[in-house]
Amino acid sequence: MDEIRDQSKWYAVLGIVIFTAGVLLAFALLWVRMKLPGSLPPPPYELGRKSEDVLSAICIGFSELKQRRKDLKLLVCLTGPNPAFSILVSSPTFISALADESSAYLKKFSFDGIDIDWEFPTWSRDAHATDRAKFPLLLKALRQKYGAEFLITLAGAGPPTIAKTAYDVSSFNKYVDLVQVMNYDYHIFSAFFPFVGFNAPLRKIKGELAEAALMNS
């Protein structure tokens, strides 16, 4: 994972995630750098001209992969800090702008959809209590704009303690094509669970009770 830097400011984070045997490939960049007037701090979220050119070249290179693999699906990953997502979903104007600009971006570079990685609505310390209710509004707007032309996928929390707080799962059924559960971090050391375990277990470990017994695939 690399950072594009111009002088001393960071602008975007790039990465690759392979899903379902390579059929879905997510190209990640910080989409929550959008121009939201009066909300997001302009300097860190604005790409310089040089960086824009680099991103364009990378996107073109990714889209050319489809010439070699016809069943490959290329996704842009929408990610970023919780406060930025909270601001995004706080206004129908911001949501509409994202839907319009992302649709144009997907078409420009022949991408197949968007992958949303928000960690995590409402649950995180710097999240807002209204995030859970407003997240579906973002998904709805994207689906209305994209129709059947583009995919919408999500990276979803695995632990039920997070998922129950962060998501209105019924909205996923309405607007999302695929949810990839992040089941690689079920067992992370903490004061509440001071033991070693597989971080992505297939079944519960002997002795696990209550929520801990659900921390598996």
pLDDT tens sequence across 38-71: 444 344 434 445 556 666 777 777 778 778 777 7
pLDDT greater than 60 at residue 106 = yes
How far, in Å, are 43, 118, 134, 212 from residue 9 at the CA level? 8, 23, 31, 41
Provide the 8-state DSSP code for 162. Answer: H
Mean of all residue pLDDT scores within the chain: 73
Look at residue 149 and give its three-state secondary structure: coil
DSSP string, 55-67: HHHHHHHHHHGGG
The one-letter code for the residue type at 135 is: F
* Residue 108: per-residue pLDDT: 86
For CA atoms 32, 38, 43, 46, give the dihedral sign: positive
Per-residue pLDDT band at 171 (split at 50, 70, 90): very high
Answer whether 111's CB lies under 8 Å from 152's CB: no
More confident residue, 72 or 212: 72
Spell out the domains of the chain, with CATH numbers in brackets.
13-32+50-68+78-182 (3.20.20.80)
Q: What is the CA radius of gyration of the chain?
A: 18
Segment 103-112 mean pLDDT = 88
15-24, 117-126, 134-143: least confidently modelled range = 15-24
Measured distance CA(121)–CA(135) in Å, rounded: 7
Average pLDDT of the residues in 123-148? 95
Residue 174 has pLDDT above 90, yes or no: yes
pTM beyond 0.75: no
Sheet with 113-117, edge to edge strand ranges: 2-6, 9-19, 24-29, 73-79, 113-117, 151-157, 178-182
